[in-house]
Structure 1
């Protein structure tokens, strides 16, 4: 047999294994609320080729490719356990098993590694938590996609309603179409139908009521059977506690803002300070996409090296508040044509660091340039460290953080030498460290951090909502502290 024939036979064998993984992954998700991950990437609802590509991508962060022949035995071992709601990373199971020298079988090792999700330790599945979207723009539609995707067995978050201003004829059809097709993020993964008579969008079996209102005071959510809900305001119209509290209407328990909060509104970056949210807090913010991109790696670098001062320069995709062509805008430069210009503007991300990382005493400054790309931005984080180090040491540390630490859902890592912005569309991490671009000279370090300022940020919003709703399931093997 030639090498070519042998490679093709090997590929077909791996395809067969990946195909057999799909029903196991689906059943665990649907019946037990178990989300199967591979190095923090969900394998739920993925195709054969997507599963194989995710395994291959492991070489970018773990240094070597994973094979489905390695991970399949761990997936099979999970089917024999009495699992409760959880997230289980079979990539990490395979990696930690390889390093274990106790002579345990895969079944014994797996049972021990996920013991916190089995038997008497497992979480009980609740009745679910209602969610309402106030506004249905770029972030609102992506959050809707994620909520529908994560509906699982129906015991988690449930998107019950969307509140928008009336848009005239065919409004519901047009909004459903924008959810169905997206020029950047592609087709919705499922089916969407419109029930105009009942003002409802049906997405993968989820009945989502579309409520028309011009102001929060016009809505009584209990009239729609909604109770104890978390409302996600993605309009950005209100940013202080007084304004956001208008949403605390009958049926609404908490309000989450998808923009930087003002005044005493807590700005939360999941993975960094979400555990500071008080149980009785009714109003909170998920900060900005850029704040979410820079705060996790900034915390990681401060934890290991100490940060004395820093500056962040963001090269940011244009956004909907800019003009297509030159026209009046209340900001000085944003009125100039977004698709034709680089536009210098301000960013509040640097000042927002203090809210998310109050223990960081280092001054952080920041500025931003909007550029003619529709999605994915890059933050260039220049740091003066508390001690000297080397580029290799920093990269090895950040690689380890992306694999093993509590920040592994926020920080990703790539060694791809030809990476460009469009490669990161759809990334679920808050930011991705570009290893090839990283520069270190003594106590100075410059990190290049890619981030999908739409989808990656929406994933961070969902994580905050899961946390405050009580349906944020633990991950196994547990991240290293």
Structure 2
């Protein structure tokens, strides 16, 4: 074995040791202080040893080189000794400010994080969350909330579904445990059929059976002041969604579909400041609207958008038929796994509800394709100001790293990237820089998005805002 090989193995062993020591520190800060640590937007919570090392390799996209995990370990160890208030702390951006790796870390952190160091650490009130409907989005929301249990100021208390047979709860728990797209649930699930509960890791979930949203008394299960997340899409206007508010123990409703009428459509990161304490019914819009609106906002703010067309290449969904059969919608009755299906989308027009300055400027259409998850939006835009591929891509990359939209917009330049690589993406949309086309003021931007998980992350952000537990981010 050469000296170079030995050195590489020693370096890897040191990284493993640092990662092994980091993992419990990250978890403890989250559980005890509600402090979520990230690395250039990537959460470090519940990472494996190799996942932790990989996150530090990812930092080279921002720093030009791999981030030394031992420096991160020093920072996190020092953080664990502070009395921190709830916050999101980006270690990557924090370390960027540390000019000297050998500097006094305690003094550095005291100066940078003065606002989150308090005399008595304490979490705010924990808000009850109920999932009404337990389909694709409902189960992913459950996974996210369970994964973050112990922090975030939100706790999943119940799911409400229609009973489908005597073994209903067993089947629903099994669907939560195993997923053909997103893989197995990370943890243990225990079903108590007698008490209609599912215990997933440390979270006890009450399963409530009901055929109507106005029939449930949540207080009977010890649930109070709850936010009801309606994943059914059956009711989209204020009148229908108000049925939830008639239930004892329910105080607010979030719809995981485009709202109709006067219901506010929120794309987190773009217009979430429109969520007021007095709002009781809010919509998280659609997955496509969430994917394209942040990118459109960034481009419009920088270059101006005269007009454009949005074409969505979207994975098939449950509202399509597996084989040819009657369907109330045009073309959607044809076999989803065998065909590209041309259909309509309201996402382009829906952008204007979150971004009024683009009202009347965008048209849109959609093609459903035989893949189960991850979609793509093609933004064909005419700009007010001409640009180049390099300028536009550099700008979008900067947006993904340092702008207020960094949790919504990601940027990739992998030459071998395909749709399955984006399964599990936590961003609303991912710009594919290698596909960008520019001809002076005419541009085409390709935006990938995990239409299930990425959207679910946006929904959870909206829930946190409605629950008033959206903690500050530093630096």
Q: TM-score range by the shorter chain?
A: over 0.9
Alpha-carbon deviation of 1:274? 0.5
Change in 2 beyond 3 A, CA 1:294/1:63: farther
Structure 1 SS opposite 2:232 = coil
Kept in 1, the 8 Å contact 2:126–2:154? The answer is: yes
Change in 2 beyond 3 A, CA 1:411/1:62: farther
Alpha-carbon deviation of 1:60? 4.3
Alpha-carbon deviation of 1:176? 0.4
**Deviation string for 1:124-164 (max 9, x for gaps)?**
412300111110000000001111111125x7111111110
Q: Matched residue pairs, number? A: 473
Structure 2 SS opposite 1:218 = coil
Structure 1 SS opposite 2:314 = strand
Return the alpha-carbon distance in structure 2 between the equivalents of residues 141 and 133 of structure 1: 9
Q: Unaligned stretches of 5+ in structure 1?
A: none
1:228 aligns with 2:225: yes
**Any residues of structure 2 matched to 1:300-449 within 5 Å, and which?**
300-361=298-359, 363-449=361-447
**Deviation string for 1:288-338 (max 9, x for gaps)?**
000000000111111111111121111111111111111111111111111
Return the alpha-carbon distance in structure 2 between the equivalents of residues 210 and 4 of structure 1: 55
Return the alpha-carbon distance in structure 2 between the equivalents of residues 398 and 96 of structure 1: 23
Cα RMSD of the aligned pairs, angstroms, is: 1.7
Alpha-carbon deviation of 1:401? 1.2
Alpha-carbon deviation of 1:116? 2.0
Kept in 2, the 8 Å contact 1:60–1:415? The answer is: no
Kept in 1, the 8 Å contact 2:411–2:433? The answer is: yes
**Deviation string for 1:80-106 (max 9, x for gaps)?**
3221111111111122334x99x9644
Paired residue for 1:458?
456
1:186 aligns with 2:183: yes
Q: Unaligned stretches of 5+ in structure 2?
A: none
**Deviation string for 1:204-259 (max 9, x for gaps)?**
12111111111112211111111100000000000011011111121110000000
Paired residue for 1:264?
262
Structure 1 SS opposite 2:214 = helix
Kept in 2, the 8 Å contact 1:160–1:209? The answer is: yes
Structure 2 SS opposite 1:369 = strand
Alpha-carbon deviation of 1:67? 2.9
1:111 aligns with 2:116: no
Determine which of 289, 295, 298 is the counterpart of 2:296. Answer: 298
Alpha-carbon deviation of 1:108? 2.8
**Any residues of structure 2 matched to 1:162-177 within 5 Å, and which?**
162-177=159-174
Structure 2 SS opposite 1:308 = strand
Worse-matched range after superposition: 301-310 or 192-201: 301-310
Kept in 2, the 8 Å contact 1:61–1:399? The answer is: no
Kept in 2, the 8 Å contact 1:61–1:414? The answer is: no
Change in 2 beyond 3 A, CA 1:266/1:25: same
Paired residue for 1:160?
157
Return the alpha-carbon distance in structure 2 between the equivalents of residues 41 and 242 of structure 1: 39
Kept in 2, the 8 Å contact 1:60–1:416? The answer is: no
**Deviation string for 1:355-401 (max 9, x for gaps)?**
00113356011111111111001111111112111211111111111
**Deviation string for 1:250-291 (max 9, x for gaps)?**
111000000000111000000000011121111110000000
Return the alpha-carbon distance in structure 2 between the equivalents of residues 30 and 444 of structure 1: 49
Paired residue for 2:55?
54
Return the alpha-carbon distance in structure 1 between the equivalents of residues 357 and 473 of structure 2: 27
Paired residue for 1:44?
45
Determine which of 189, 198, 203 is the counterpart of 2:200. Answer: 203
Change in 2 beyond 3 A, CA 1:25/1:389: same
Paired residue for 1:67?
68
